[in-house]
Amino acid sequence: NAGVMQNPRHLVRRRGQEARLRCSPMKGHSHVYWYRQLPEEGLKFMVYLQKENIIDESGMPKERFSAEFPKEGPSILRIQQVVRGDSAAYFCASSPSGTAAEKLFFGSGTQLSVL
């Protein structure tokens, strides 16, 4: 069984460009979470999606950032007009039910570097 797949593993962008990060959850999982990890800061929640719906986006900046999880295809985290401060590791996690007792399955992350 394939785990949570994230691509690309490494993404380099220049300031002002767009970054698109993809996440394919585990088979049968309809709940997706995006986290950002900065050194010494741990994992910061960004957004929680269920198929075609954004459930909670309270951790996502209001500008330049957006996320989607279409009926077909992977979840996409999109960052427009990237700035150096967006450089971080972005992790996607999925779960089958979205319940509090259910563990999250994590992908290997996308390391975004903004030049």
Binding of other proteins by 62 (CB under 8 A): no
Smallest distance, other proteins to C-beta of residue 20, A = 19
Cis, peptide link before residue 8, omega less than 30° from 0:
yes
- In the chain, DSSP assigns E strands to 5-7, 10-13, 19-24, 31-38, 42-50, 53-56, 65-68, 75-79, 88-95, 105-106, 110-114
Residue (41 or 72) nearer to other proteins, CB:
41
100 binds other proteins (CB under 8 A): yes
Rounded Cα gap, residues 43 and 72, in angstroms: 27
Residues in the chain: 115
- Measured from the CB atom, is 109 or 114 closer to other proteins? 109
Q: Which of 41, 62, 71, 72 lies at the binding interface for other proteins (CB under 8 A)? A: 41
Taking CB under 8 A as the rule, does residue 83 contact other proteins? no
- Joined together, the tokens standing for residue 71 give 């009926």
Binding region for other proteins (CB under 8 A): 4, 6, 33, 35, 40-43, 45, 48, 55-56, 58-59, 91, 93, 98-101, 103-104, 106-109
